[in-house]
Structure 1
């Protein structure tokens, strides 16, 4: 394992020298550090990553889309625990002095601004912001050969025709993307979609850990993820963050979606009024020991 990680570090260092500037091709994955956040000490420390899914269509820079997946992920590197806090994309928040859906904030005020909004909601300041578009997401799923997701209830996505059965489902890259986007058939709408996104992320983690000792796997995955990759981190920082993810044990991951009330009357469109006290309680619970004990 150590030998493979060293080789990945070499790949990242080389990529930092030879990969074309992101202006050559549309950005499919963006990773930035948050200016107002603490400097992360990866040696036995913790890290908070704001993971976003952009709805920008293929061929369009991911930063130009709305963020229809919003997950705050906390990593405790020493214990191997992790938490995921889902934020409904229609959450009604203050964006630069005006009320708006949270999924529009990235395009208006950038990753630092969105990170600050999330910090106001849950009381936790993200250290990094990871934004992936359709192509970047599919590349990540392809890199581990698909993803297995365990689901409790059967449903069919009316838009894509994806059929999901109770139990373990094996998705290819496109099916995984469809799974994360479907919501209209659920009575809980955005809340169910956010919970499904968490199930998918857990499946990706299990897939990564299942393959990490295969010769060449991490190197191939690294190169696949770096296509269309834009970051302000050094290659060494990217490597250490990736290494931190591999320390997480799937059995020690707990998740929650912020509660709120759907409202279609306030502004004439679908929004979610987040339960602010509950959001703060969930954030405090997560920050305490990287365990969530229920929403």
Structure 2
């Protein structure tokens, strides 16, 4: 009875708070303050991370191509988007110094300082359900346009960037294809090694062992993970390949496909450290047009969140033949009719239909690229 009396003196009723404890209102005030503290810390952390990412997106080099742009659509306004992707190297006899961003604002572009052996039109459909990349061989014979959009002479297409800079490259591609280039991205192949390291290496499959005499490298058959200098050598290799530069284009596309697979994997996009390192490597080695704002970049990335590696298609502009041209060298001649179909498919946002009509134009499987 004494025990029962003691228990009854400590509790009012079953299920109610213990006598002598903190009042109900005070306990819940503490819980609320704790919750608010946790939420505040979470918002501060997320805000700091968002600020850090935004700062990285602002660190990309910038070049002005407004002299040849016909207008820059907002990536989230439901329109298709065309981006010219250039892979840039410095000429072997140039020791460097200033960057593309710094050289682009000079009164005169340093003709011959840079080479662009990689030219790709990246088409992003209006519904953001896929991404299509079309490589244009660097030796394609066409009329070259300058930084003011004025025609100059007929040359290999890679001479446009070398002689007239970023705006010249955009003007030349637009004139040759009739496609409006909305944005420009220039990747420094020398810095490509940093990007591959940031994503933890990229897997490629080499079907047969062969030797690249130019770089002094023997590529062993089999699947391997490449990063750093090895990755850079892989995308540069063309000597020792059966079709030379055409096989190098396939290699570059295959490598970009593998990089995309890595970027689209949960391990990269959902890992703050990996994502930050990747963005840092990209911003250190990539130059964008000055109209491509961090806000537009974020919006575009969000609009593409449903894209998977299976919905990314790689192809090359259809080649008719190669021939020697006096004073120019060996050039690539594109198939006129089929190329016109491809350009129109991009303009009308119907690249999927073109791929269905010409399935063999797509990049082969990862284990079939030399």
Residue 291 of structure 2 corresponds to residue 257 of structure 1:
no
Q: Residue in 1 aligned with 2:345?
A: 285
Distance 1:7 1:31 in 2: 30
Per-residue displacement from partner, 1:242-278 (whole Å, max 9, x unpaired)? 4456543211122221214222244362221222322
Map 1:119-134 → 2, pairs under 5 A: 119-134=174-189
Residue 262 of structure 2 corresponds to residue 207 of structure 1:
yes
Distance 1:118 1:90 in 2: 13
Residue 240 of structure 2 corresponds to residue 216 of structure 1:
no
Runs of 4+ in 1 over 6 A off after TM superposition: 3-8, 29-34
Map 1:56-205 → 2, pairs under 5 A: 56=90, 59-60=96-97, 61-62=99-100, 64-76=113-125, 78-95=127-144, 96-164=151-219, 168-205=223-260
Per-residue displacement from partner, 1:4-34 (whole Å, max 9, x unpaired)? 99766522443578x6xx9xxxx6x869676
Three-state SS of the structure 2 residue aligned to 1:73 is strand
Q: Residue in 1 aligned with 2:52?
A: 11
Distance 1:145 1:126 in 2: 32
Q: TM-score, normalised by structure 2?
A: 0.66
Distance 1:42 1:151 in 2: 39
Distance 1:277 1:236 in 2: 39
Per-residue displacement from partner, 1:135-166 (whole Å, max 9, x unpaired)? 33222222211112345554332223444455
Q: How many residues align?
A: 285
Per-residue displacement from partner, 1:33-63 (whole Å, max 9, x unpaired)? 7622441332554321111111216744346
**Mean alpha-carbon deviation: is it higher for 90-99 or for 267-276?**
267-276
Three-state SS of the structure 2 residue aligned to 1:70 is strand
Three-state SS of the structure 1 residue aligned to 2:225 is strand
1:240 to 288, 299, 318: 299
Unaligned runs of 5+ in 2: 1-42, 104-112, 145-150, 362-370
Distance 1:123 1:6 in 2: 43
Bigger Rg, structure 1 or 2: 2
Distance 1:117 1:183 in 2: 25
Distance 2:128 2:297 in 1: 21
- Kept in 2, the 8 Å contact 1:121–1:276? The answer is no
Could you tell me how far 1:65 is from its partner in structure 2? 0.6
Q: TM-score, normalised by structure 1?
A: 0.81
- Kept in 1, the 8 Å contact 2:83–2:184? The answer is yes
Distance 2:128 2:85 in 1: 21
Q: 1:6 to 1:74 in 2, by over 3 A?
A: farther
Map 1:11-50 → 2, pairs under 5 A: 11-15=52-56, 35-42=69-76, 44-50=78-84
